[in-house]
Chains A and B, each alone.
Chain A
Amino acid sequence: MYRIRFHGRGGQGMKTASRILGSAFFLEGFDVQDAPRYGAERRGAPIFAYVRASRQAINERGVIHHPDLVVVADDSLVPVPAAAVLQGLDAHTVTLINSHTSAADWQQRLNLAGPVLILPATEEAEDRAELPFVGTTCAAAAARLVGVISRDALAEAIRTELGALGSQLVEKNTEAALQAYDLMEPHAGTVTEGKAHSASGYARPDWIGMTVEDVDLAAPSIHAAATSVEVKTGLWRTLRPVIDYDRCSRCWWVCSTFCPDSAIAVDADGRPDIDYDHCKGCLICVAKCPPHAIEAIPEHLAQAAEETNA
């Protein structure tokens, strides 16, 4: 069975990627499961989707713990623990990253036992939440890597999944997809079917006998204020607002008032300060700043610059 996991951000089309790949496998005669995994996460937040494909009936369900292929649509997610991109990877797992950075660099950074491949990020969108065709190209690259999906089946799958968006979009996506498919030609068949789970020599679950606990613990109650600040929603951000303090007019804290996430604090002198741990990058502040003192820059470039400076 092939077990494939797609990692991206809400809005990058990971569900579509899983469906295109699922349909392509299906057209090639495979039994298939594809599904997105939703939580409370929204646009920009890390999400994943997965595909299983087998010549036999599939009885497994739910999250893939040991993938044969992990596809990362947004390389800024790789180091984010909450995205769980690296979970369950072993020597058999191929990792495909949509990135400008080379495979060797990634291999060195991540020290993975399995091979790392790069899907060169072609066109760079300003906002990574809106990378053009990223879901489709990821699905196409995956289709080539498994080596059992033809160009025709891929194109047909794209037509099936994106048809409702109109022929123009289907055409553009198909073109981008086939390009990605052909790019992966040298690695066709690198991803092979993982073994079935073994029932012999398994790790025993560490079950406990649950005991009754005090109602103060055992009711779903929180006895504290504003614990949500422990959630770093800054991870969702694909664009970063940066204040040019020379231009900031210390106005009536427009940016701070309109920021839905209470992520802009203003000190006694009227100087605003953006809390990047929590700023989701909506950029309402950029739009509303009266003297246009806030600029949006791509988050990955901002992070790269920070790394260089450090």
Chain B
Amino acid sequence: MTRTLLTGNAAAAWGARLASVDYVPAFPITPQTEIIETLAAWLDRDEMPGRLVMLESEHSMITAAGAAATSGVRVFTATSSQGLLYGMEMVYTVAGWRAPFVMVNVSRGLASPLTLEPDHTDIMAARDSGFLQIHCASCQEVLDSVLIAYRLAEDHRVRLPVIVNLDGFYLSFTREPVEIPEADAVSRFLPPFDAESTRFSASAPTSQAVAVLSGTPYSYFRYECHLAAQNAITVYDEAAAVFASVFGRHHEAVEAYRSEDADIVFVMIGSFATKAREAVDRLREAGQAVGLVRPRLLRPYPAEQLLRLLAGKRGVAVIDQNLSMGMGGVLHTELSAALYGKPGAPAVLLSFIGGLGGRDITPEEFYEIAAVTRQAAEDGVVPPPRLLYSRDEHREVTKLQAIAHTERNELESKP
């Protein structure tokens, strides 16, 4: 076991290397490219077995990944943002093939306007696809999650592709100490991929991904996909338990940080959740009973765990780094659905949108979120969703607009 400084991207590449992946269909995109560059370098130097093929688009890359997985080899691939969307037809398609492989997505805001900075709107677009999703808050978690993801994807009870998600820049290009496990420890955790009957060979003619022409078989295959995804809750728990016994690191489906005795709880995913963790400690020092609940697993949705961890809380603040146009934050929407009508559901569930396109969330903002949530709990009145955005920021945009020679016309509101 080596402890060393790794970027999130390098940690992802190490996860693939330790999983002894056979095949890496690739396509470059910022901020993911370092992952495939790292793997390409190792493969070139024969430091790992396997084969990397550069496709001409993410659409082709995901097609090749799914096709290789349905042929019986262990496949790893990675993408980000616009690339994930360009391949989106195949994201949905290969999940329906029940092709088990792992894809790392390095989250980055979506166009338009084009940006390189991170948020989670890209990965939310894949949430209904059949891919399972594991969200990471540290570089160590990236490496560990890739290994867990293979166990999950290849488990006979699941057989679905898995996305391991990490934030662009905040994890992808950030170095942290990471423990790189020994290969033999990994082999104790992750057996070789047995594709069973999901493969092609001359003596066993197989037609895969066959079309259907009516709602009856269609409903069956789609719903089975959903049930297999739900199966993954139990399988994840098992995998995380074995992982902890082999490597000593715990990656429960939902992380609960000082939430047990908290009356106010933050709910977040991804690397900014460590900022929330920090804010919890400071608020605790200030005498406030605040905690954090962070789903690692977002698909399947760990509804029962979340209900258990949030039951009886006075107030919950969901901080979404994504935006569903015309609706709001996706995590808030989903959590509302999971808690609605359930005994012990928290009295108030507030929505905050922040961190879009790499915009920071400051400690003061976390403190204020806690305060606003506490006030809402006391008043029993839930304020409308709040975008974390200051007067100074708006002033800055105004200056940009002046340079861009845009005219400011106030929106007319009719009485």
Contact = CB atoms under 8 A, between A and B. Distances in A.
Direct contact of A and B (CB under 8 A): yes
Interface of A: 39-40, 210-216, 218-225
A221 B207 contact: yes
**Chain A contact surface mostly:** loop
B210 A212 contact: no
A215 B159 contact: yes
30 contacts: A39-B213, A39-B214, A210-B220, A210-B223, A211-B227, A212-B227, A212-B228, A212-B230, A212-B231, A213-B224, A215-B98, A215-B159, A215-B198, A216-B197, A218-B228, A219-B159, A219-B208, A220-B209, A220-B211, A220-B212, A220-B217, A221-B197, A221-B198, A221-B206, A221-B209, A222-B206, A222-B210, A223-B204, A223-B205, A224-B205
A40 B213 contact: yes
Contacts of B284: none
Contacts of A211: 227
Contact of A218 (B196, B213, B224): B224
A225 B205 contact: yes
Contacts of A214: 156
B175 interface: no
B258 interface: no
B96 interface: yes
A224 B217 CA distance: 18
Contact of B196 (A40, A216, A220, A222): A216
Contacts of B209: 220-221
B interface bracket (residues with beta carbon within 8 Å of A): 20 to 34
Interface string B76-108: 000000000000000000001110000000000
B389 interface: no
B157 interface: yes
A115 B110 CA distance: 64
B221 interface: yes
Contacts of B221: 218-220
B227 A221 contact: no
Contacts of A224: 205
Contacts of A222: 206-207, 210
Contact of B156 (A40, A210, A215): A215
A65 to B, nearest CB: 15
A129 to B, nearest CB: 22
Contacts of A221: 197-198, 206-210
Contacts of A212: 157, 224, 227-228, 230-231
B96 to A, nearest CB: 7
Contacts of A218: 98, 220-221, 224-225, 228
Contacts of A216: 196-197
Interface in B318-362: none
B227 A210 contact: yes
Contacts of B156: 214-215
A225 to B, nearest CB: 5
A219 B198 contact: yes
Contacts of A40: 213
Contacts of B206: 221-223
Contact of A219 (B98, B213, B230): B98
Contacts of A220: 96, 208-212, 217, 221
Contacts of B208: 219-221
Interface in B58-85: none
Given A221-B198, A222-B210, 15 more contacts: A39-B213, A40-B213, A210-B224, A212-B228, A212-B230, A215-B159, A218-B224, A218-B228, A219-B159, A221-B206, A221-B209, A221-B210, A222-B207, A223-B206, A224-B205
Given A40-B213, A212-B157, A224-B205, A219 B97 contact: yes
A78 B211 CA distance: 29
A40 B213 CA distance: 7
Nearest to B160: A215
A39 B215 CA distance: 12
Nearest to B227: A212
Most chain B C-beta atoms within 10 Å of own C-beta, residue among A210, A215, A216, A222: A215
A213 B198 CA distance: 15
Contacts of A225: 205
Nearest to A214: B156
Nearest to A211: B227
Contacts of A215: 98, 156, 159, 198, 228
A221 B228 CA distance: 16
Most chain B C-beta atoms within 10 Å of own C-beta, residue among A210, A213, A220: A220
A96 B223 CA distance: 41
A180 B231 CA distance: 61
Nearest to B219: A210
Closest 7 pairs (CB-CB, A-B): A218-B224, A212-B227, A215-B159, A222-B207, A219-B98, A225-B205, A221-B208
A222 B209 CA distance: 9
A216 B70 CA distance: 12
Interface in B201-260: 204-214, 217, 220-221, 223-225, 227-228, 230-231
A223 B157 contact: no
Nearest to B159: A215
Most chain A C-beta atoms within 10 Å of own C-beta, residue among B206, B214, B224, B227: B224
A211 B198 CA distance: 21
Contacts of A223: 197, 204-206
A218 B197 CA distance: 12
A88 to B, nearest CB: 17
A171 B214 CA distance: 39
A37 B353 CA distance: 46
Interface string B118-160: 0000000000000000000000000000000000000011010
Most chain B C-beta atoms within 10 Å of own C-beta, residue among A39, A212, A219, A225: A219
Contacts of B228: 212, 215, 218
Nearest to A223: B206
A210 B221 CA distance: 11
A224 B208 CA distance: 11
A40 B207 CA distance: 18
A221 B209 CA distance: 6
A63 to B, nearest CB: 11
Nearest to A38: B213
